[in-house]
């Protein structure tokens, strides 16, 4: 997606060889026009897989997932990173590790928002080591539902996430694939 790549080059900040900061348009301040365009790309790519729901992980995946859900006219479900007092025992939970923040999260899904017949499209902002997507997959499959695909806004292709997920048979579609962040320069695949 050329407009996304241009925006990454213009406004992305390479923190180090593993971390790209895009908080000016994706996950702190949000460019809704760009998110709408991202939703269009995901819709066009994944509609043939006939998902029944869009899942994302709070909070950075919410904007692209909501625009995808809006265009596909599907419900969007947000997987929670923190347990809430209003969620009862009627939940699915799995632990995921955030390498960027060096913390573990209890990823949580209420059982009332998934059924065995669902085909889930997972949308997330980044794919690096595949931990967040793997956690979402575990929740979906523990409910007896299927993953119809995984849409990623920015993939760090130099990390093992894609290889891990594809080796398990999951369809990945990334809008911007980064080959390297070495020497403070963004290089695309």
Q: Sheet containing 119-127: give its strands across.
A: 76-79, 53-57, 119-127, 146-156, 172-180, 187-188
What is the enclosing helix (H) or strand (E) of 44?
helix 32-46
What is the dihedral angle through the alpha carbons of 108, 111, 112, 114, rounded to the nearest 10 degrees? 90
The answer to the question of whether 69 is labelled as a binding residue is no
Residue 47 annotated as part of some ligand binding site:
no
Residue 146 labeled ligand binder: no
144 is in an annotated binding site: no
Token match 């902002």: residue?
Answer: 125
Dihedral, 188, 70, 122, 90 alpha carbons, nearest 10: 150
Q: Is 145 annotated as a binding residue?
A: no
The answer to whether the annotation marks 131 as part of a ligand binding site is yes
- The annotation status of 27 as a binding-site residue, yes or no, is yes
Angle of helix 32-46 relative to helix 62-72, nearest 10 degrees?
50
Q: Is the dihedral of CA 56, 62, 68, 69 positive or negative?
A: positive
Compute the radius of gyration of the chain from its Cα atoms.
Answer: 16
Residue set of the binding site for 5-phospho-alpha-D-ribose 1-diphosphate: 128-132
Residue set of the binding site for xanthine: 20, 27, 156
Residue set of the binding site: 20, 27, 128-132, 156
């Amino acid at each position: 997606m050329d407009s996304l790549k241009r925006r990454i080059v213009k406004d992305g900040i390479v923190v180090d060889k593993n971390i790209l900061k895009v908080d000016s348009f994706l996950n702190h301040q949000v460019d809704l026009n760009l998110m709408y365009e991202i939703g269009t790309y995901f819709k066009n790519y994944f509609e043939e897989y006939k998902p029944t729901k869009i899942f994302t992980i709070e909070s950075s995946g919410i904007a692209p997932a909501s625009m995808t859900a809006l265009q596909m006219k599907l419900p969007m479900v947000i997987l929670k990173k923190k347990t809430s007092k209003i969620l009862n025992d009627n939940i699915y939970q799995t632990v995921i590790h955030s390498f960027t923040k060096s913390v573990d999260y209890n990823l949580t899904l209420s059982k009332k928002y998934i059924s065995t017949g669902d085909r889930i499209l997972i949308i997330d902002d980044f794919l690096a080591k595949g931990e967040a997507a793997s956690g979402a997959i575990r929740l979906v499959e523990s409910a007896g539902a299927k993953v119809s695909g995984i849409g990623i806004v920015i993939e760090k292709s130099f990390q093992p996430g894609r290889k891990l997920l594809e080796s398990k048979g999951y369809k990945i579609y990334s809008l911007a694939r980064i080959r390297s962040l070495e020497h403070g320069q963004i290089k695309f695949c």
